[in-house]
Structure 1
Amino acid sequence: MRTKKKNYTSTDQLITKITAWIAGVIVVGLMIWGAISLLDLYKYEETNDAQVEEYINPITSRVTGYIRTIKYEENQDVKKGDTLLIIDNSEYKLGQQEAEAALLNAQAQIKVMESNELTTAKAASVMKSQIASAKAKLLKQQQDYDRYSKLFKVESATLQQLENSKAALDVADAEYRSALNSYETSASKVNDIRSQRDVYLAEIKRREALLNRNKLDVGYTVITAPYDGKMGRRTIQEGQLIQAGQTLAFIVDQEAGKWVIANFKETQIASMKLNGHAVIETDAFPGEEFQGTIVSLSPATGARFSLLPPDNSTGNFVKVVQRIPVKIKLDDSKKLTDKLKAGMNAIVVIAKNQ
């Protein structure tokens, strides 16, 4: 049987050569790519389970009331101290005025008390001078009685004169004792009034505290930005009733900077150290690299911080590689990182044994 000889044209031979060269280039390319990938796996740890983070804090109200004015818009940049919204303060102003009036009343009462103390002290001083007068009168009457007693014994004075002297002596003694009692009563009243001074002073302090509290409430009706930042979505309207403690808005803290939380597998963190260098690339800006520094590694896996951490002692155990959150501070300038937003996905690469 004769075998039929195949004839190839020059075109077929050219196509075969080109195909062989292309296949060779592809194989060489795959080998180079594989070698580079293996080298990267040996030198670097990489994860795409990473997000850009910032402090996003709620703006809450410390008082209850109706919103009078809103002074910000969604996604607006604000500076520390900028007024965000104003709550109607009519009721709190009335409370402040009432507290001011109560404080004035307490201060007036202590002035009245001081006036009463002065008047009573003067009365006690008058009573004290009357004691000296009554004592002198009693001494004179005692001397007269003693003289008439001696005269009566030698029959130089009558019994009536002696009795009159005795009666005058008793009256003088009664007046002296009355003056003493009156002085003691006045002095006691002075001490009573002075003891009330601490009560009035305590009442003044209480009224001052109430006034300061009302002033705070009036101040709380003006809500300002706690730091430089950017406002989030606006969900409130003017005229809306809000409650104390209610969240009114969210603000992104631009003063605290930005960082990346990269969730590496537990098998990847053995060689990671604090202050280690990291390279970050975001999905939003492919090809643009950001520099970072490792500032901390989580003390536990992310699963342990979840609301319902896994319990492997139940018997339904399936080994799953856990992830450890690694916090990476962005080292680039604020101007460069302004384009990054909280929640953006990122790819983080960290060199081993650095």
Structure 2
Amino acid sequence: MSQTEQTNASVSPAPSDLPEPMLEKQAPREGTIVLDPVPAGNSTGLTLPVRKALIDRRWLARWGIWSVGILGVAIGAGVLADFAYYRFTKSMTNDAFVESHIVHLAPQEAGILTRVLVEERDAIKAGQVLAEIDPVPLQRAVEEAQAKRKVAEATLRLEEATLDRLEREHPRRVAVAEKELASADAAYEESSAMLKMTVQDVDKAVNEAKADAAAVQAALTNAKEEFDRYTKLFADRSAPERKLQDMTREYRAAQAKAESAKAKVERAEVDRGQVEVARRSLDQKDRAREKAKESLRLAELGDLEIEVQKHQVQLRRDEVEQAARTEATVATRLQNARIVAPFDGVVVRRYRNPGDHAPLGSPVLSVYDPELIYVTAYLEEDRLEGVAPGNRVRIWVDAIPGAMDGRVVWIGQATGANFSLLPRDVTSGEFTKVTQRVPVRIAVDRGPRWGQLRPGLSVTVAISHGPGDPEWAAAEAERQRHRGQFGVSPTAVLGGER
């Protein structure tokens, strides 16, 4: 029903305007204005009060329409002003998300999961054991490595004992050999002197014996001549018999002395054999001295034996160190069979359960640090003007009613297109310009709803333009860097829960 029809239905005509048959039958309806009869001279057929009421109604309708229009214009102007304000004083985007450093924890050894000690949503502490691969094979490997190390250490002790014995024996051997050489030298010198003395004594005795023999031979010749002369004189009875007898005795004595002198010469010549004996003794002493010298040289070669033994000891030490490194490596592998919380955080995903085979590097749990929550907004490149580190940011999280505040930490140094799996290729000559987006990290101010932030939530941000606060941004970036800089390794947790 139109407005005109509603007006006509609300205002009923006067009874005088209706046909006669209808005057008696028509009854006033609810909400209908019944007009009194008017004089015949009134062309409108309405009384003055009714006309005034109709005029008032029309003015009210006009004022209502104008009020609604003005209100609509005001609202539109406000929205337009707000849009213009945000458009020229802020950079807005809904391509933003709550993010954190989500770490996918995986074992460094493949095997069967025997324990998973946490569930999703569990809070964890740095160094806490979260899961474990079956440790039995690695424990046996550790025991084998320990046995090899002990064998290497025992071999090293034996080689060190041998080296110590050689180092102790070598000076003594050299000293004994030097003494033997000195004794052999002394014996050789003594034999050499004895030989010289023997030669001199024998030569002297022979010469003396020969001289005596020559003198006795001369006396014998003289005695023989005297004996022959007196024998001839006695035969001629020119000499007495007594004189002949004296000459005979002297001749025979001279003969005896000659025989004795000859015997002495023979004995002296026989003594030359002592020279040969002394010479042989000297040769024997010389051989003994050469033997002593060779013994000394062999004793001095003990230095080389010690050097060889030292190299052997060093080799055994290297073997011990290698065995120790192997044992440490296997022990490290045993420690790496555990998954340890690298920092205080929250478990957000559990991928595997006890009994599952965990391949090397396959994640078992995903965790993040709830104290390292931030917003990453991917801002269009043409909206970066006026955005600077430290600028204030208004944040609307789709999952959280109301708005939150934050500040820009840093602006990325490259667009996301540089890290796309399918990089842009404009060498073909066909090019369609696409506005690139630059990541902007935003630190969210702590407030009552801070704990409701979850990585992955969609966010709309409005970044205020201005010079920013570089000092605050640098300090906040350093805080986040320090917060995400270190983690606890499984090897840093000694023993652990088993």
Question: Is TM-score (shorter-chain normalized) higher than 0.5?
Answer: yes
Q: Distance in 2 between matches of 1:299 and 1:177?
A: 84
Alignment partner of 1:241 is 2:357: yes
Structure number with greater CO (CA < 8 Å, separation at least 6) is: 1
Q: Distance in 1 between matches of 2:296 and 2:342?
A: 69
Of residues 277, 297, 315, the one that matches 1:199 is 315
1:344: how far off? 0.9
Superposition map of 1:100-179 within 5 A: 100-131=146-177, 132-155=179-202, 157-160=271-274, 161-179=277-295
SS in 1 for 2:95: strand
1:193: how far off? 0.9
1:110: how far off? 2.1
Deviations 1:1-57 (A, max 9, x none): xxx989987396355654454344333333333333333333332222211111111
1:251: how far off? 1.0
In the alignment, which residue of structure 2 is the partner of 1:264? 379
Which shifted more, 165-174 or 207-216?
165-174
Structure 1, unaligned runs of 5 or more:
none
User: CA distance change for structure 1 residues 129 and 329 in 2, over 3 Å: closer, same or farther?
Assistant: same
1:227: how far off? 0.6
Alignment partner of 1:301 is 2:347: no
User: CA distance change for structure 1 residues 23 and 93 in 2, over 3 Å: closer, same or farther?
Assistant: same
Assess if the C-alpha contact under 8 Å between 1:51 and 1:261 holds in 2.
Answer: yes
In the alignment, which residue of structure 1 is the partner of 2:9? none
In the alignment, which residue of structure 2 is the partner of 1:277? 392
User: CA distance change for structure 1 residues 40 and 182 in 2, over 3 Å: closer, same or farther?
Assistant: closer
Alignment partner of 1:48 is 2:94: yes
Assess if the C-alpha contact under 8 Å between 1:130 and 1:179 holds in 2.
Answer: no
Q: Distance in 2 between matches of 1:177 and 1:36?
A: 114
Of residues 412, 434, 442, the one that matches 1:328 is 442
In the alignment, which residue of structure 2 is the partner of 1:76? 122
Assess if the C-alpha contact under 8 Å between 1:53 and 1:341 holds in 2.
Answer: yes
User: CA distance change for structure 1 residues 175 and 40 in 2, over 3 Å: closer, same or farther?
Assistant: closer
1:313: how far off? 4.9
Which letter maps to 2:68? Answer: I
Assess if the C-alpha contact under 8 Å between 2:194 and 2:278 holds in 1.
Answer: no
User: CA distance change for structure 1 residues 168 and 6 in 2, over 3 Å: closer, same or farther?
Assistant: farther
Alignment partner of 1:318 is 2:432: yes
Which shifted more, 277-286 or 112-121?
112-121
SS in 1 for 2:382: coil
Structure 1 length-normalised TM? 0.87
In the alignment, which residue of structure 2 is the partner of 1:228? 344
Which letter maps to 2:459? Answer: A
Of residues 71, 82, 95, the one that matches 2:141 is 95
Which shifted more, 17-26 or 319-328?
17-26
| Residues paired across the two proteins, number | 348
Which letter maps to 1:238? Answer: P
Task: Return the structure number with greater helix share.
Answer: 2
SS in 2 for 1:284: coil
Q: Distance in 2 between matches of 1:6 and 1:353?
A: 72
In the alignment, which residue of structure 1 is the partner of 2:450? 337
SS in 1 for 2:378: strand
Q: Distance in 2 between matches of 1:143 and 1:45?
A: 117
Q: Distance in 2 between matches of 1:317 and 1:191?
A: 77
Assess if the C-alpha contact under 8 Å between 2:195 and 2:282 holds in 1.
Answer: no
Which letter maps to 1:113? Answer: E
Assess if the C-alpha contact under 8 Å between 1:127 and 1:182 holds in 2.
Answer: no
Task: Return the structure number with greater strand share.
Answer: 1
Assess if the C-alpha contact under 8 Å between 1:282 and 1:347 holds in 2.
Answer: yes
1:309: how far off? 3.0
Alignment partner of 1:31 is 2:144: no
User: CA distance change for structure 1 residues 39 and 237 in 2, over 3 Å: closer, same or farther?
Assistant: closer
Which shifted more, 46-55 or 36-45?
36-45
Q: Distance in 2 between matches of 1:126 and 1:351?
A: 93
RMSD: 2.7
Which shifted more, 134-143 or 243-252?
134-143
Assess if the C-alpha contact under 8 Å between 1:152 and 1:159 holds in 2.
Answer: no
Q: Distance in 1 between matches of 2:45 and 2:407?
A: 67
Structure 2, unaligned runs of 5 or more:
1-42, 206-270, 468-498
Computing the radius of gyration from Cα coordinates, the structure with the larger value is 2
Alignment partner of 1:291 is 2:405: yes
1:81: how far off? 1.2
Deviations 1:106-126 (A, max 9, x none): 222222112212323344334
Of residues 436, 452, 459, the one that matches 1:346 is 459
1:304: how far off? 3.2
Which letter maps to 1:272? Answer: V
1:282: how far off? 0.8
1:225: how far off? 0.4
Alignment partner of 1:189 is 2:302: no
Deviations 1:156-179 (A, max 9, x none): 654243244234313422431342
1:340: how far off? 0.8
Which shifted more, 52-61 or 8-17?
8-17
Q: Distance in 1 between matches of 2:168 and 2:400?
A: 90
